[in-house]
Amino acid sequence: MRIVGRDLHFAYDGKPVLTAVDLEVGEGEFCVLLGRNGSGKTTLIYCLAGLLSPQHGSVTIDGLDMSRATRNDIARRVSLVPQEHADIFPFRVLDVVVMGRTATFRFAQRPGPEDYRAALRVLVELEAEALAERNFNRISGGERRIALLARAMLQAEGTLLLDEPTNHLDFNNQHRLLDKIKRLCREKGTSVVASLHDPNLAARFADRVVMLADGRVLAGGTVDRVMTASMATRLYQTPVRRIETHDGERLFVPCLSETGAAKADSEEAGIRRWT
Amino acid sequence: MGDISTMEIITDASKRHVRLKTGLVMGLVGVLVISLWIGWVPIAPNELGDIVRAWLGGDTGETLAGKALVFGMVRIPRALITVLVGMGLSAAGAVYQGLFRNPLVSPDILGVSAGATFGAALGLLMAGSSWLTIQSLAFFFGLAAVGMALLIARLVAVSPMLVLVLAGLVVLSIFNASITLLKYLSDPYNELPAIVFWMMGSMSRAQWGDLRVAVPVIGGSLILIHTARYKLNVLSLGDLQARSLGLNPGFYRLLFIFLSSIMVSVSVAICGQVLWVGLVMPHIARTLVGPNHEEMLPVAVLSGGIFLLLADTAARALTMAELPISVVTAFIGAPLFAYLLYRNRGSGWS
């Protein structure tokens, strides 16, 4: 197992956010975290990235105990694509990507031609080399995600953590981004943990799903085992139907309208519709 | 494919930047020569040669004695200190703006200058305080000011860009009020004018002795900041990303704040408050070479030196009685800042 989280507990100011969370992700596996807003997805990702220290439990990545490792050691193994990217200086995309090399630089060191070449190579791999000279603040949200993904890949290809990577992306870009990440898993053996809000994207791209509810693991395992209508209904606390298309694609549909809710109610008796 | 074309773009840009930096160094030397030559006592270029020769020979001719004194004891140290202060203030501004991810902060706005001024004024009032006391007090209160602004911003912790400026305003007001109080309490015939004139900012008291502090402190800080300047790029992404990229933001933040605050405090202790340099020069540099601190910092430092030396030369040459240098820097700097804000409005960061 590349990523192992054991019995993780985390609390902000005494308010528990994660409780007894276990998580395992193997080499080349794409693990998706699902859960409602405030269910602890971001906190879990930050604990895995070593940015937050769980009050109890342990995180091991590539055999490295995160509580003992230095920032630099962690950064060479684990890369993160954060959720919010506030406006920064109008750096070129290439300058943003090359920062993925930060962990390898000494006090006075700056990126050299070799680092820029490597940064460019990653952009080429992601078919985004046209972005290299553009102003990071002036490209689209989807392009920014690609640029940040490139930075993360340059930093560490082994373990990639993504906090809601599909936020603010259009329909097409959501699928293209996840497809690229999935290819990384297949071709480079990258282990990925990504939080998503759309169960359909999870069903389509994930190898493994962890459902978080109020900081606890509601269910975890392979897509086939976890992604059922009843689990989705419990997770989102709203009636959810699963529709299977003729070519085997599974679609999850919430039933909020009068008719839909009625249908779902008949399928899933005794569920809470609203919290 | 893209490999070649982009590498070309990178080297192209860096060639352009090398040309720009060479031009700035030459400009600095040019302004230095002009400022040594211009002034109340006219010294012709051929007389300069005579003075230098006389020094080397150990013998100063009768006719040149006065001019040699003006040249050697007044103009040279003054020009050198002005350049150092200009460089230090603009480097401090660039560091603050990068570190706090805020184009509106500068040592003036975060209250560092006001804190240092208060400290120095306190030193001026205390009977028999040495230059070192004034210096240390300036440094202590300068650092206290930036600490207070950061603390307030951290306690509020909402919309950091805006809150930091507001917190700076709070600190600035407190120290300005304290300075006013000091002025009110001081002896109106001797101490008050001394504080007032010193606060207006002037290079006129610059002496060789000041260089003994300014060269190691400002020079040393500039070298360290220049050496580690790439880290400013990473720090400007914010703590979370800096940490996930493998940088220890706490250490570098502290180092950069310490180095820039000590430069500002030394400048304040030598020549009072010189406003606008720290705010405007980084913007000029960013307009010229972009936001990457690798290129932007040296350009900001060089332009800061040139700008302040020009301002001081103008302050000396424009009128019979010398103008306070802050008046000159504000009259040039403020409209320039407005123009740069207008020019860079489309960059997505302002």
Q: Which CATH class is domain A3-227?
A: alpha beta
Check residue B16 and give its pLDDT: 85
Asked if residue A24 has pLDDT above 80, the reply is: yes
**B20 found inside a domain:** no
pLDDT tens, residue by residue, A37-95:
999 999 999 999 999 999 999 999 998 999 899 999 999 999 999 886 666 788 999 99
Nearest to A103 among B1, B245, B290 (CB): B245
> With contacts defined as CB-CB under 8 Å, which chain A residues touch B294?
110
**Residue A100, pLDDT score:** 96
The domain in which residue B135 lies consists of 71-342
Give the total number of structural domains in chain B: 1
The 3-state DSSP class for residue A69 equals: coil
A269: left (phi over 0), alpha (psi -120 to 50) or beta: beta
Read off the pLDDT of each residue in A242-269 and give the average, rounded to a whole number.
Answer: 70
Candidates B101, B244, B348; nearest CB to A138: B348
Residues of B in contact with A105 (CB under 8 A): 230
Q: What pLDDT does residue B37 have? A: 81
Here the tokens at position B173 are 């007001």
Full DSSP string of B139-163: HHHHHHHHHHHHHHHHHH-SSHHHH
What is this structure's pTM?
Answer: 0.87
Domain contains B4: no
Is B248's Cβ below 8 Å from some Cβ in A?
yes
Measured between CA atoms, the residue of chain A closest to residue B241 is A82
Q: What is the tens place of the pLDDT at every residue in A198-218?
A: 999 999 999 999 999 999 999
In this model, does residue A274 exceed pLDDT 50?
no
Q: Identify whether B269 is part of a domain.
A: yes
B349 touches chain A (CB under 8 A): yes
Interface predicted TM-score (ipTM) of this complex, two decimals: 0.87
Instruction: Give the per-residue pLDDT at B349.
Output: 54
Q: Which residues make Cβ contacts (< 8 Å) with residue B274, sequence separation at least 6? A: B85, B89, B201, B267, B308, B325, B326, B329
* 8 Å CB contact of A117 and B3: yes
pLDDT at residue A86, rounded to an integer:
65
**Gap between the Cα atoms of A246 and A74, Å rounded:** 45
B273-305 pLDDT, tens digit per residue, is: 888 999 999 999 999 999 999 999 999 999 999
Residue B9 included in any domain: no
- CATH of residue B271's domain is 1.10.3470.10
pLDDT in 10s for each residue of chain B, 350 residues: 445 555 665 666 778 888 999 999 999 999 998 888 887 777 776 777 777 777 676 665 565 667 777 777 888 899 999 999 999 999 999 999 998 887 778 887 788 889 999 998 998 888 777 778 888 898 899 989 988 988 888 888 766 667 877 888 999 999 999 999 999 998 888 888 888 887 888 888 788 888 988 999 999 999 999 999 999 999 999 888 999 999 988 889 889 988 998 899 889 888 888 889 999 999 999 999 999 999 999 999 999 999 999 999 998 888 778 888 888 999 999 999 899 888 877 665 54
| Helix axes B160-185 and B131-156, enclosed angle (nearest 10) | 140
- Taking an 8 Å cut-off on Cβ atoms, the answer to whether B246 and A132 are in contact is no
Nearest CA in chain B to A118: B3
C-alpha dist (Å) from residue A170 to A145, A167, A173: 12, 9, 5
Residue A273 pLDDT:
43
Residue B62 lies in a domain: no
- Kindly list the residues from chain B whose CB atom is less than 8 angstroms away from the CB atom of residue A92: 290, 292
Residue B80 lies in a domain: yes
* Residue B268 forms part of a structural domain: yes
* B4: exposed, middle or buried (Cβ count in 10 Å: 0-12, 13-18, 19+): exposed
Does the beta carbon of A79 lie under 8 angstroms from any beta carbon of chain B?
yes
Q: Do B292 and A88 touch (CB under 8 A)?
A: no
Nearest residue on chain A to B98, alpha-carbon basis: A89
Interchain proximity A110–B246, CB inside 8 Å = no
Q: Which residues of B touch A137 (CB under 8 A)?
A: 347-349
pLDDT value of position B9: 59
Domain segments of chain A: what residues? 3-227, 228-275
How confident is the model over A167-199, as pLDDT tens digits? 888 898 899 999 999 999 999 999 999 999 999
Question: In sequence order, what DSSP letters do the residues of B264-302 get, joined into one string?
Answer: HHHHHHHH----SHHHHHHHHHHHHH-S-HHHHHHHHHH
In a domain, B348, yes or no: no
